[in-house]
């Protein structure tokens, strides 16, 4: 075998190794992406928005996700108005909420307690089933 033929064989072997390594499956992990949570009080009412979605990234904290949810409780002038939870059980997981509430009073103090929920497994195998973040939004007019 001449020198040129040896170079070609070596080059082919190198390409074969690169392509076989590139074809190995990479485990995808997931992370939670949050939108801009807002509350806007105005005379006789308020509007608020909240959102979350699951995105894939090998550096994500979650190995698997089977469900996400957003639980929210609305208060007007310190009194509970309503509480509800919205779930998404289908991939790609995404919840976006834009709600408005009216009041018979011109001036009000509004508060929204929010819990972001997730069911799945962490990258280390630990099961998760519940709140992964809680926060409050408030505004008054």
C-alpha–C-alpha distance, residues 107 and 105, integer Å: 6
pLDDT band at 131 (very low <50, low <70, confident <90, very high): very high
Do 76 and 106 contact (CB within 8 A), yes or no? no
Whether the pLDDT of residue 16 is over 90: the answer is: no
pLDDT of residue 2: 55
Q: Which pTM does this prediction carry?
A: 0.77
pLDDT of residue 27: 63
Do 116 and 70 contact (CB within 8 A), yes or no? yes
> Per-residue pLDDT tens for 57-106?
888 999 999 999 999 999 999 999 999 999 999 999 999 999 999 999 99
User: 5 in the Ramachandran plot: left (φ > 0), alpha (ψ -120 to 50) or beta?
Assistant: alpha
């Amino acid at each position: 075998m001449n020198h040129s033929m040896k170079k070609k064989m070596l080059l082919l072997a190198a390409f074969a190794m690169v392509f076989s390594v590139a074809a190995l499956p990479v485990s995808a992990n997931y992370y939670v992406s949050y939108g801009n949570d807002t509350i806007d009080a105005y005379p006789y009412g308020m509007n608020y928005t909240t959102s979350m979605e699951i995105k894939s990234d090998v550096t994500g904290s979650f190995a698997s996700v089977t469900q996400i949810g957003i639980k929210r409780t609305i208060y007007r002038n310190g009194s509970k108005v309503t509480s509800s939870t919205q779930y998404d059980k289908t991939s790609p997981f995404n919840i976006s909420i834009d709600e408005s509430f009216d009041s018979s009073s011109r001036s009000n103090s509004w508060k929204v307690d929010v819990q972001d929920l997730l069911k799945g497994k962490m990258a280390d195998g630990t099961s998760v089933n519940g709140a992964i973040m809680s926060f409050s939004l408030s505004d008054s007019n």
